[in-house]
Amino acid sequence: MLPRLYFRRRPEEVEGLRSQFISSSCSVSYRNTGPLHISHGYKARLVDINGIEYLDTRNNVAHCGHGHPEIVRAITYQVGQLQTNTRYLHPHASLLAKKLSDLLPRSLERVFFVNSGSEANDLALRLARAYKMQQKGATHDARKDHTIVIDHGYHGHTLSTLDASAYKHRQGKEIDKCPAHLRIVPCPDVYRGVHSIKKSLPRKYDASLHKDKEQYCESEIEAANKYASYVEIECEKYPVSAFLIEGGMSVAGVILPPKSYLRRCIDAVHKAGGLYIADEVQTGFGRLGKCMWAFQYSNENEGGVDEIIPDIVTVGKPFGNGQPLAAVITTPCIASAFESLGVEYFNTFAASPVQCAAGLAMLHVLSSEHLQKNADDVGNYLVELFSELQSRCEWIGDIRGSGLFIGVELVRDQHTLEPATEETSFVCSILKDKYKVLTSVDGAHENVMVIKPPLVFSRADAALFVSCFEKALLVDLPMVKDRLKYFGRTPT
Amino acid sequence: MLPRLYFRRRPEEVEGLRSQFISSSCSVSYRNTGPLHISHGYKARLVDINGIEYLDTRNNVAHCGHGHPEIVRAITYQVGQLQTNTRYLHPHASLLAKKLSDLLPRSLERVFFVNSGSEANDLALRLARAYKMQQKGATHDARKDHTIVIDHGYHGHTLSTLDASAYKHRQGKEIDKCPAHLRIVPCPDVYRGVHSIKKSLPRKYDASLHKDKEQYCESEIEAANKYASYVEIECEKYPVSAFLIEGGMSVAGVILPPKSYLRRCIDAVHKAGGLYIADEVQTGFGRLGKCMWAFQYSNENEGGVDEIIPDIVTVGKPFGNGQPLAAVITTPCIASAFESLGVEYFNTFAASPVQCAAGLAMLHVLSSEHLQKNADDVGNYLVELFSELQSRCEWIGDIRGSGLFIGVELVRDQHTLEPATEETSFVCSILKDKYKVLTSVDGAHENVMVIKPPLVFSRADAALFVSCFEKALLVDLPMVKDRLKYFGRTPT
């Protein structure tokens, strides 16, 4: 009885109701150029109400693809059986906790299920506080311990995780942007950051663009050392309870920490008695291709020596392939510091048999369809295609990332690195309107195309995407610029 | 391929995996007397893996009943179509926002969808902060504004909502239990609180039990005034940004604010420039029978004069009948204070077409099956049955609540009100083990049976429950006490 009525709504009505009843703080993509009325999806495709298919290069939640039949079946079956809380025992929650732990380093074997990445990072901060309290004794004021976070990082929308999200501090004008106990260190961006690496290209030093840039580094190691030193200084100066960092920074424009950065930071944090919280909400479950988790990327990078092992890991977005499912995983020792406080942790919706069925099915498909390997393969192919394009196109400043987590940074000038912000926005619009490709733009200057599609993204999808991207950049963009120039308007 | 394998797990294996991989802070009900392996459910019944049926008097999430076919169909259909974020337009989210707003007073017409009640209250506090900032100007330090909350209240598990949950402060030993900006006022409990109402029964004044009790009140109005005065004093002394209160306090043991309490508090808070946040996570959507929302209970109580209208309402638990779905609803004016900060509010999972389908279907069934009316009817019947029992049983100290939100407080002595904590726990266990009835115990002394079943709870269910309860209390409890006495052990 229900669904038929509700689906037959004219787009104008849907838009009208939305703008009347949903706060405008909840953004709609392509608001100015025509928002999308998506009806259904499959694999890396979304289909709108007119039947137009879009290639989805940005959805990092539908990990195994939109509407994956096996996952849909698992959810569908379980919804009809039982959806209740974890105060009753159910095989799904127990098994999912085990399977999640099995995918992580051996020491990480205590799971807390939650509903979202925000709830996960919020709880991770609480665990770190409990641990510090245990170390220091009950009289210790854990609220005054410092949390070190990365500039341009994003960790969630709750009050505590917003505080920890330096990127949000810049976005708006909420006061008290940075509470006293939050220490923000520079983002270890070796392309455009404070300590970037000198490339073969000669670059002009433009003071207005690089006003806080100290000097170019000769190598990745040198940059890593310089970036890590900020964390080391914080650890010497302040009582630190946690170092919270995304394995791959998506909002910052796909920044993977340079070689040896994580190792040095973690050592300093541990020496100060703090914990390393690996935020894998965006990057976990094989997205990086080479490794299951982004924190392992540094191991890969360094030949597996001195393995990086987080104290706490948070996962979210792709975990339930769309169903709200997230988790915090930690060591028995840290969990027991929290447990000894005697406070129950109850989360009404988290890890109901339905959410867990989605999680189990996602892990099953991830493995049976070898999607991590596919991410690695297609990711390499994408980098290859973009590199080839870069040789013919001066807009592409940098191509970085791993697996299906790739950033393509557009610049107006390869020397000054002037960000091509308006051009990137234009390319994103034209890709949607003309080529039916959905993309995502991020980075401090909003000039990085962030590619983070479902892991079923194929080589054919990659080829289609890059060819559309090329046309947008080399045909449509110059054409528009030319037209605007003809009419005497500033090309934006 | 997936589900069959996962369901065939022996109970011991499920328990073993759970205790190894899930933190023990995540409690299991009936842990000591035999936790339940629930397999499926229908209406107000849960069925375990051995086919044993339990009457569920405590699940306040499966609002329209476990596994309601119409809701299951709505979810099932939508999962196969699309589950993606609100950056695309979809009829479900727009319609659900409208329908939710339509159920509330006219001024509340801006919706923010979130995943959980915790996220909702967290965002509500943030909205209140933004509003205060707008009133006071950008230099105002909104972090120092005070939030007034009720003792024994519960508002969620994120760091900010935990701070606001006085009940949690007592439960554990996390330090900094009450941050400086949180002002906790006494719970307006007229039975056992600081200002209780003098009943016809003579009561001994036991200093150890009532050590902070000032005096008995003659009437509900007198108690309400005394309780409200705490809020009024806070509002005179401190800069207040929010007064956060559950319409019906569940964890506190089913406390509905006495007549005129809310009105007086709200007036004081508004005078101080603060906002009234109505936490309807437990009590919303008709549970109280007489009214759709618990904040309206006071209106009912006062004949609709001077209608209570919250500035912000939060909803959660029953909204998706099990699917994680929650929301914050506020006025255009408060929403616009937040929107003017220029910070996007994005919530990955919230209000996906699947969650919204669940919400729409829940509202549809709530209305088409007249469940609010059923709550009223069966709730009155329950109170009748319990009252009749009370006349024959000295354990029952108080029966309170409205609709299917009822508290039955057990005491050892009708005069001293000595809480029958151990006896309540025993009754709860025996109801599960012998009578196959699932119940919930809460209240500051853990001596209140909290009855908050799915709203499909029938008169037959009510009669069955009270007859089992009677046997547990009048047959089993004395028998056990007698046996323990025979063996010379303390009856607990």
User: Tokens 């959805």 identify what position?
Assistant: A59
Neighbour count for residue A138 (Cβ, 10 Å): 11
Q: How far apart are the first and last CA of chain B?
A: 50
Beta strand spans in A28-76 (E): 38-42, 45-48, 53-56
Question: Mean pLDDT over residues B57-78, rounded?
Answer: 97
Mean pLDDT of B15-29: 95
Arithmetic mean of pLDDT over chain A? 91
Banded pLDDT at A259 (limits 50, 70, 90):
confident
Q: List the one residue out of B13, B159, B31 whose CA is nearest residue A97.
A: B13
Best B13, B158, B450 member to test A by mutation, with max A CBs in 10 Å, is B158
Q: Do B92 and A6 touch (CB under 8 A)?
A: yes
A61 to B322: CB separation less than 8 angstroms, yes or no = no
Give the integer Cα–Cα distance in Å for B483 and A45.
69
Neighbours of A112 (CB within 10 A): 28
Residue B71, pLDDT score: 97
Q: What is the rounded distance in angstroms from the CA atom of residue A134 to the CA atom of residue A99?
A: 29
Between residues B373 and A8, which one has the greater pLDDT?
A: B373
Instruction: Name the least confident of A161-170, A353-362, B164-173, B194-203.
Output: B194-203
> Are A79 and B81 a contacting pair at CB < 8 A?
no
Cross-chain residue pair A158–B159, CB shorter than 8 Å: yes
Among B14, B142, B143, the residue with its CB nearest the CB of A91 is B14
Query: Is there a contact between A26 and B354 if contact means CB atoms under 8 Å apart?
Result: no
Least confident of A205-214, B71-80, B450-459: A205-214
Enter the tokens of residue B173: 């030993």
Per residue, the 3-state secondary structure of A202-255, as one string, reads: CCCCCCCCCCCCCCCECCHHHHHHHHHHHHHHHHHHCCEEEEEEECCECCCCCE
**CA distance linking residue A444 with residue A447, whole number of Å:** 8
CA distances (Å), origin A438, targets A36, A71, A249, A317:
10, 23, 20, 18
In B, minimum Cα distance to A79 occurs at B72
With helix as H, strand as E and coil as C, how does A124-158 read?
Answer: HHHHHHHHHHHHHCCCCCHHHCEEEEECCCCCCCC
Q: How many CA atoms lie within 13 A of A29 on its CB side?
A: 21
A37-93 residue pLDDT tens? 999 999 999 999 999 999 999 999 999 999 999 999 999 999 999 999 999 999 999
pLDDT at residue B323 is higher than 60? yes
Cross-chain CB nearest to A22 (options B9, B97, B348): B97
Sign of the alpha-carbon torsion through A58, A64, A69, A71: negative
Task: Choose among B426, B422, B413: nearest CA to B476.
Answer: B426
Q: In the sheet where A405-410 sits, what is the strand order?
A: A396-402, A405-410, A448-451, A440-442
CATH numbers and ranges of domains, chain A: 2-67+371-486 (3.90.1150.10), 70-368 (3.40.640.10)
How close B430 gets to chain A, by Cα (Å)? 17
B59 contact residues in A (CB cutoff 8 A): 84
For the cut 60, the answer to whether the pLDDT of residue A200 exceeds it is: no
Measuring CA to CA, which residue among B339, B362, B284, B333 is closest to residue B120?
B284
Question: Is there a contact between B98 and A70 if contact means CB atoms under 8 Å apart?
Answer: no
Size of interface A-B (CB pairs under 8 A): 409
Neighboring chain A residues of B75 at a CB cutoff of 8 Å: 75, 79
Neighboring chain A residues of B347 at a CB cutoff of 8 Å: 26, 116, 118, 157
pLDDT of B260-289, one tens digit each? Answer: 999 999 999 999 999 999 999 999 999 999
- Residue to test with chain B: of A10, A111, A158, A330, most B Cβ within 10 A: A158
pLDDT of amino acid B168: 72
Average pLDDT over residues A177-196: 87
Return the structure tokens found at A135: 């170390």
CA A35 to chain centre: 23
Closest CB from A79, A344, A350 relative to B72:
A79
Q: How far is A213 from chain B (nearest CA, A)?
A: 28
Which of A118, A136, A168, A364 to probe the B interface (max B CBs under 10 A)?
A: A118
pLDDT tens digits, A419-438: 999 999 999 999 999 999 99
Contact B61 A122 (CB under 8 A): no
Chain B CB contacts of A140 below 8 Å = 175
- Give yes or no for a contact between B262 and B298, defined as CB atoms under 8 angstroms apart: yes
CA atoms of A117 and A96, how far apart (whole Å): 17
Please tell me the predicted confidence (pLDDT) of residue A2: 56
Q: Kindly list the distances between the CA atom of residue A332 and the CA atoms of A345, B78, B327, B389, in Å, as whole numbers in the listed order.
A: 16, 39, 35, 48
Contact between A339 and B130 using a beta-carbon 8 Å cutoff: no
B352, A11: Cβ pair inside 8 Å?
Answer: no
Q: Kindly give, in sequence order, each residue whose CB lies less than 8 Å from that of residue A56, ignoring residues fewer than 6 positions away.
A: A41, A44, A45, A46, A62, A66, A438, A453, A454
Strand-pairing partners, residue A298, are none
Which segment of A269-278, A291-300, B43-52, B246-255 scores lowest on mean pLDDT?
A: A291-300
Compare all CA atoms of chain B with the CA of A440 and give the residue at the minimum distance. B87
Residue from the list A80, A85, A171 with its beta carbon closest to the beta carbon of B342 = A171
Please tell me the predicted confidence (pLDDT) of residue B200: 46
Q: Sheet containing B110-114: which strands, arranged edge to edge?
A: B110-114, B326-330, B312-315, B275-279, B240-246, B146-150, B182-185
- Report the residue of chain B nearest A136, measured CA to CA: B175
A112/B22 CB distance under 8 A: yes
Q: How far apart are CA A111 and CA B361, in angstroms?
A: 32
- Binary contact (A344, B36; C-beta < 8 A): no
pLDDT of residue A76: 96
Nearest by CB to A6, from B67, B91, B345: name it: B91
Question: Comparing A152 with A3, which gets the higher pLDDT?
Answer: A152
CB contact under 8 A, A112 and B26: yes
* Chain A residue whose CA is closest to B102: A21
Q: What confidence tier does A202 reach under pLDDT thresholds 50, 70, 90? A: very low
Spatial separation of the C-alpha atoms in residues A121 and A164, rounded to whole Å: 9
**Runs of H (alpha helix) within A238-352:** 261-271, 297-301, 332-339
Average pLDDT for chain B: 91
A110-126 confidence digits (pLDDT tens)? 999 999 999 999 999 99
Query: What per-residue confidence (pLDDT) applies to A251?
Result: 94
